[in-house]
Structure 1
Amino acid sequence: MSMPTDTHRKHWVLLIMLLLTVAPPPASAGVSKTDWKPMFKGIDYSFGRRTPGQGDIYLQSVHVLRVDLQDPDIRFLHTRATTNHTYDVRETAANTVSAFVAETKVQVAINANFYDKNTPTDLNSPGLPVALTGLAISEGFVVSKQEDRDASASVLITTNNQVTFVHTNFPPTNTAGIYTAVSGSYPLVIRGVSVANDARSPIPELAPRTIIGASQDKRYLYLLAIDGRQSGWSDGAFDEDSADWCLQYDMYEATNLDGGGSTTMVMLDCLGQPVRVNRPSYVLARGRERYIGSHLGVFAKPLEGLIKDVQLTFRGNQATLKWNTTTEASSDVDFGSTTKYTTTVTSSPTPTTAHSIIFKDLLPDVPVFFRIRAQAGIIAEATASCFTPSSPPPARLVGFDQRWRYQTNKLDGQLWFETSYDDTGWLGEGPGLLYFDISPPGDTQVSPKGTELPAMNRSAGSPIRVATTYYFRTRFNHASATRPLSLTFSNYIDDGAVFYLNGREIQRVRMPQAPTVINWSTLANASNPSSECGGDAIASCPSVFQLTGNALTNLVQGINTLAAEVHNFNVNSPDVVFGSQILAVYPLEAPSDPPVLAIAIDGGQVRLSWTGSGFVLQEAGALSGAATEWLRVPAGNSSPVNIQAGSSPRFYRLIEP
C-alpha cells in the first residue's frame, strides 16, 4: 500500500508491514492456537499446532488468515485471464504465488483451483498457458467455466463481499453479480458439521492442504494452509484432519482447494516484496515455488489504531516521518537497516497528538526499517514500516562510443597504464566498439562497431588471426567534487581483460587472478560462459563489475586515465571486441538551508521576500478552522512579492511545489 509522498519525489515508496514472527507453541501433545494477530486492516493471522500424543498421530503446523468481509477496504482478486484467452485451453498464465503477489500488490494470497488438466506434469517455467479445473472468476470475468462435476465445490464472492458456498456446482449456478470465484475438489465442512471421510476421499494422502472457509454469520472468510512432507515441522493432513482444523477455527463452511506442493501462503512486506508465510514443501524439494495457474489474493489497507496518518516526506538525503495519534500520547521510533533496530529516538516525551522525527544521512537503495511506538495511559501500540531511498539517476562518465588509443605491440615491463605514459605514438583515436571480426556484416553480435582493429595476418590464402593482446587507453573527465558511491563498468569483451584506473589495477575479467603476472602472451582463461552468452561478446550479456568504497580512492576530480588490455582465449583467435561504459551513482545531496521569509510594511504596501529558490508563496485567512485554506499568491513564484495591506489578518507560508 503506497503511502503519501511529496509529489516531486514520487520515486520514494512507503509500505506498511506487519513483522510476522511465527513462534510455535510449546511442544506438548494436543492442539494449540495462537491468538489472532492483526496483519493488515481487516486481515488477522493465527498459527496452529498439533503434536503427537493423546490420540493424535501426526505433527501439523497450520497457518490461518481471517478476512473481515465487513471491512469496506477488503477486495479480492483471482488470477486474471491470460492473453488470447481460450476456454479449456489457455485460461491463465502459470506463475508462483509470490510472483502473483509481487505483480498485483495484493496484501496476502494463497493458491486456489486445481489446474493444468491438459498437461498433468509440473510446469517448468512461468508464463505457460494453463487450463483450470472448476469455476474461476476474476473481477467479474469468467476465467474458467464449470463444465462437469470435477472440482465443483465453488466459492462465490460478490462485489460487496457477500460469500456463498456451492457444494456441488453442477449444473452450474447463476454467476450474475459474482466478482470473484474459486473452486475446490469437495467440501470438508457443511453447516458446521464435518463431511470429511478419509475412507472415501478422492485425495487419500497425508499431504499439505489449502482450504477456504467462512464463519456461520459469513462475516469472516478463512484461508488456511497446512504444511506437510516436512519431518519435524509438519507431516501434512488427511481430509478428516483438515475438517477438524476448520472446526477448531469456527468455520461453518469449508472447501478443499488445490494442495500438495501447490500449498503456498504469501504476504506483501513493507518493501513491496512477497514473503512466504507458510513453508511450502515444493520449495524444500525444488528450491522454488511451484508454477500454478490459480491464485486468490486479498487487497487490504494498512493497520490503523492509536497510530494513524503515517506519512514520509523527503528532502535530499533526509526523510521526515510524521504521524498522528487518536489521543494525546508519547512516542518513540526504533529504526535501523534491518528489523533488528539499532537506534531509538524519542519523538514526543510529552503527550501530544502530532509527532515527527527526521531520518538523516540516508543512502540510496539502503532500506530503513522503523517501528513507531505510542503510549497513551494504559494503551500501547506499535506499527512497523520501512522505506528504501531510491538512487538518483546514474551519471555516465564513459560511453560505449568513447574514443580510445590502441596498440598491439608487446609492452611487457612497461608502465603503459600509468597516467604519465606517452601514448601519442599509438594508433587511433577511434570510437568504440573496437573490434576485428570475420563474421558477415549481418551476423554481428554487438554494436555499434565503431573502429576496426588491425589483425596480425590478413594474407590471402592464410588463416586470419588477431593479436593475442590489444592495449587500450582513454581519458575521461570527472567534474564532480563528490566521490560517487559506486562506479559500474559495463563491458563487451572478447575474450578476457585487465582494467586500470589512473595506473592502478581495478579488475580482471576472465583472466588469471592476482598475483599472477599478466604479459602480452597471457591467454584469457575463459570465454563468456556458454550458459550465459554462448561465447564471445554478445549485446544481451555484457560483462559487468562495480567499484565501491576504497576501490574508488584513485578516482580524481578532473581528468582520469582508464586503460585496459584485452587478451584472446587462444593464439589463433579470429576476432576481438572491446568497449566499456562507466556509470557513476552519487550520494543523495543534503537538503539546502530552509528559506527565510521576511515581511516589510511601508504605508499600505506589504513586501514579502525570501531566501533561496524553488519555493511558492501561499496565503490563508487563518491557521486553523474552516478558514484554513492555503491558496497560491499571484506572482508568488519568485521573490519579492508586493501585496496591498487589508483590514483582516492574512497568513503566509512557503512550500516546495
Structure 2
Amino acid sequence: MRPIIVCNTIVNRISVAMVLVALYVVGCAKPTPPAAALSTPTPTPTPTPTPTQNPAATATTTTSPALPYQVERFNLPGPMAGVFAKVDLSNARVATKIVLTDDRDPDGDGPCVGQLDMTSAAARKNDFVITMNASFFEAPTVRDIMDKKVRYYIGNCTWPVGWHVSSGKVVSKPKGSKMRAALLVANDGTVSIRDNVAEIPPATRYAVSGNALVLKSGRPTSTDENGTRHPRSVVGLSEDGKSMLLVAVDGRQEGYSRGASMKELGELMLKLGAYHAVNLDGGGSTALVIKDLRTGTFGVANQPSETSTEGFPVRMERPVADVVGITLAPLDRK
C-alpha cells in the first residue's frame, strides 16, 4: 500500500481570527485575477464528507514490510467508518506508553494532576508514531450559551477518571468502589487488558482506565441491539498478546459515519482480530494521530466529531487528559 500522509486538522482560535481578517480584506479589495496556489495553503474549514469521500482528504492507508505496524481505514454499513492501527508488539523496536498530554500540575494539592492538550500535541512532544486519546477525564468547563455543549480548552486543569500510571508512578486511581477495566503495560513491555482493576500489579509501568470491556475472551460483552451510536476510541489485544489494535470509530456525521454502539464495537474488534478490547473515552475526544515518517509531521487520521466554537463547520480535536502512544526505536537500536 502507499505510505500514509497525514495533516494537522487543528484550527485554533488564532488561526480562525486570521482567516476572518483575510476574508474582510479580500471582500473590500477590487477583484483581481486568481493567483497560483501556494505550496502551504491557509487552513480552511473541512467539509463534512460524503460516504464516498475520504474523511481526511490528504491521508491514505499504509503498511510496509519494514514497519511493525499498519494503518487502515474501514467503511461499513450503518454507516460506520473510521481508522485503525495494528501494532506488532513482538517487535523489539516497539514500545507502548501512557502519558498525560500536559503533566504540569496547576493547582498543587488540588484535584488536578495536569492540563488538557491535544492528542496531536502529545504525539509531537513524545515523538509517538501512533497516538490515541485515552481515559475519561474531569475538568472545569465552559458551557457554550448557544448550543449548550461543554467546551474544553487547552490548559484547563484536569484529572483522569480511574487509573493513570506513568513511568511507574500512580497519578490517578478510581474513587469509591467503582472499578474499571484498564489497559496495563508491565515493566518488561508486556501489554494486557483487565476487567475490574482494583489494584495495580507491582510490576506495572503504565496503566489507564477505560469504562468497560467491549470484548472479553473473544466474545462481545454487550447484547443491546438498540444501543446508542457514538464516536469511539478502543484498544484491543490479540489472543496471543502479540498484536495491539488502536481503533477510532468516527460518528455523529450523517452520510459518513453515525458511530458504533457498544455491541457493534465489540463485533468490530472481533472482526479486526482482537480477543480482548477496552472502550476508552470517545465522543468528541476520539482522535487517532499518525506520524508521517517521511516528513516528520503529525496529523489526525480520523474525522473528529468536535466542531469549532467560532460558528464555522470546522472539525477539530478536543483537548484531552492523556494518551496511549507507540514509540518506534531506530533500526540500529534493535
Same-fold call, TM > 0.5? yes
- Is 1:90 the equivalent of 2:75? no
Residue of structure 1 equivalent to 2:38: none
- Is 1:180 the equivalent of 2:180? no
- Is 1:253 the equivalent of 2:279? no
Query: How do 1:341-356 and structure 2 match up within 5 A?
Result: none
- Is 1:282 the equivalent of 2:306? yes
Per-residue CA distance 1:528-570 (angstroms, 9 max, x = gap) = xxxxxxxxxxxxxxxxxxxxxxxxxxxxxxxxxxxxxxxxxxx
Residue of structure 1 equivalent to 2:296: 272
Per-residue CA distance 1:211-265 (angstroms, 9 max, x = gap) = 0110000111111111111122211111111011011012110111100111000
Residue of structure 2 equivalent to 1:419: none
Aligned residue identity for 1:42: P
Measured after TM superposition, the shift of residue 205 of structure 1 is 2.6
Provide the secondary structure at the position in 2 that maps to 1:19: coil
- Whose relative contact order is higher, 1 or 2, with alpha carbons under 8 Å and at least 6 apart? 2
- Is 1:131 the equivalent of 2:191? no
Residue of structure 2 equivalent to 1:60: 80
Change (3 A) 1:85 1:156: farther
Measured after TM superposition, the shift of residue 120 of structure 1 is 8.7
Aligned residue identity for 1:93: Q
Query: How do 1:87-486 and structure 2 match up within 5 A?
Result: 89-116=111-138, 122-150=150-178, 152-169=180-197, 172-198=198-224, 204-269=227-292, 270-283=294-307, 287-301=315-329
Verify the 8 A CA contact 1:113 1:133 in the aligned structure 2: yes
Q: For 1:237 and 1:64, how far apart are their aligned partners in 2?
A: 14
Aligned residue identity for 2:243: Y
Aligned residue identity for 1:280: P
Decide which of 44, 53, 73 is 1:47's aligned counterpart: 73
Aligned residue identity for 1:41: L
Change (3 A) 1:87 1:232: farther
Q: For 1:120 and 1:243, how far apart are their aligned partners in 2?
A: 33
Provide the secondary structure at the position in 2 that maps to 1:281: coil
Q: For 1:287 and 1:40, how far apart are their aligned partners in 2?
A: 33
Q: For 1:38 and 1:229, how far apart are their aligned partners in 2?
A: 32
Measured after TM superposition, the shift of residue 164 of structure 1 is 2.2
Aligned residue identity for 1:101: A
Query: What RMSD, in angstroms, separates the aligned Cα atoms of the two structures?
Result: 3.1
Provide the secondary structure at the position in 2 that maps to 1:210: strand
Query: Paired residues, what number?
Result: 269
Measured after TM superposition, the shift of residue 92 of structure 1 is 2.2
Change (3 A) 1:132 1:165: same
User: TM-score, length-normalised on structure 1?
Assistant: 0.38
Change (3 A) 1:127 1:211: same
Verify the 8 A CA contact 1:87 1:144 in the aligned structure 2: no
Q: For 1:25 and 1:119, how far apart are their aligned partners in 2?
A: 34
Change (3 A) 1:248 1:144: same
Per residue, is there more helix in 1 or in 2? 2
Aligned residue identity for 1:102: R
Percent identity, please.
24
Per-residue CA distance 1:302-329 (angstroms, 9 max, x = gap) = 6x7xxxx9xxxxxxxxxxxxxxxxxxxx
Unaligned runs of 5+ in 2: 7-49, 54-59, 144-149
User: TM-score, length-normalised on structure 2?
Assistant: 0.72
Change (3 A) 1:223 1:86: farther
Verify the 8 A CA contact 2:305 2:316 in the aligned structure 1: no
Provide the secondary structure at the position in 1 that maps to 2:72: strand
Query: How do 1:553-592 and structure 2 match up within 5 A?
Result: none
Residue of structure 1 equivalent to 2:47: none
Change (3 A) 1:25 1:208: closer
Measured after TM superposition, the shift of residue 148 of structure 1 is 3.6
Measured after TM superposition, the shift of residue 176 of structure 1 is 1.4
Per-residue CA distance 1:266-300 (angstroms, 9 max, x = gap) = 01223332211111111475543111112111101
Measured after TM superposition, the shift of residue 185 of structure 1 is 0.7
Verify the 8 A CA contact 1:150 1:185 in the aligned structure 2: no
Provide the secondary structure at the position in 1 that maps to 2:269: helix
Aligned residue identity for 1:105: D
Q: For 1:150 and 1:245, how far apart are their aligned partners in 2?
A: 27
Measured after TM superposition, the shift of residue 182 of structure 1 is 1.4
Larger Rg: 1
Q: For 1:85 and 1:264, how far apart are their aligned partners in 2?
A: 27
Q: For 2:90 and 2:320, how far apart are their aligned partners in 1?
A: 30
Verify the 8 A CA contact 1:111 1:294 in the aligned structure 2: yes
Provide the secondary structure at the position in 1 that maps to 2:273: coil
Residue of structure 1 equivalent to 2:4: 19
Aligned residue identity for 2:254: S
Change (3 A) 1:174 1:272: same
Verify the 8 A CA contact 1:41 1:301 in the aligned structure 2: no
Residue of structure 2 equivalent to 1:37: 63
Aligned residue identity for 2:300: R
Q: For 2:206 and 2:92, how far apart are their aligned partners in 1?
A: 16
Measured after TM superposition, the shift of residue 36 of structure 1 is 7.4
Change (3 A) 1:261 1:139: same
Unaligned runs of 5+ in 1: 1-16, 28-33, 52-57, 310-657
Verify the 8 A CA contact 1:88 1:132 in the aligned structure 2: no
Provide the secondary structure at the position in 1 that maps to 2:160: coil
Per-residue CA distance 1:135-165 (angstroms, 9 max, x = gap) = 0111222121123454611111113221222
